[in-house]
Amino acid sequence: MDAPEYDPAKERRRNIIIGVAIFLVLLLGLLGWLYRFWPQERIADRFFTALEQKDFERAYGIWWNDPDWKQHQERYAKQYAFNEFYRDWGLGGEWGVVKSHKVSASGNCRPAGTGVVVEVIVNGRVEPARLYIDKKDKTLSFPPC
């Protein structure tokens, strides 16, 4: 009945490892929560960057998540044709010439469901532009909520 001798250093090492593991799990959980809408915010940022550069064709491709949209324009003509898009987001649109933008907030759109609403401050205006970005197909639209 020879019991091993108690080693306080081994016990302390074990407690430190457990503490560090718990800290890392909590840190990863917090970062995951804080950046849960990062992919949608990045899409909105790319969209407004294209508008700043007056590259409306690329912005329209980002809107539909289809960089080759010109190959099959008829697919989008009934829903939101390029000329309507240009009227809304072009030089004479509601936001005018986009000179600057900053993604300011994002959140789920309830009860609508599968997308994220991203708010973007355009040209320093008080009223933000709001985009609805579907999580599944990464297309943009106007917020339903």
Question: Which tens digits make up the pLDDT trace of 20-70?
Answer: 999 999 999 999 999 999 999 999 999 999 999 999 999 999 999 999 999
Task: Name the residue among 54, 44, 41, 40 with its Cα closest to residue 99.
Answer: 54
Write down all domains in the chain, each with its CATH number in brackets: 38-141 (3.10.450)
Quick check: 116 and 132 in contact, CB under 8 A? yes
**Contact status, residue 122 vs residue 101, Cβ threshold 8 Å:** yes
144: pLDDT strictly greater than 90: no
Residues whose CB falls within 8 Å of the CB of residue 23, separated by 6 or more in sequence, listed in order: none
pTM for this entry: 0.83
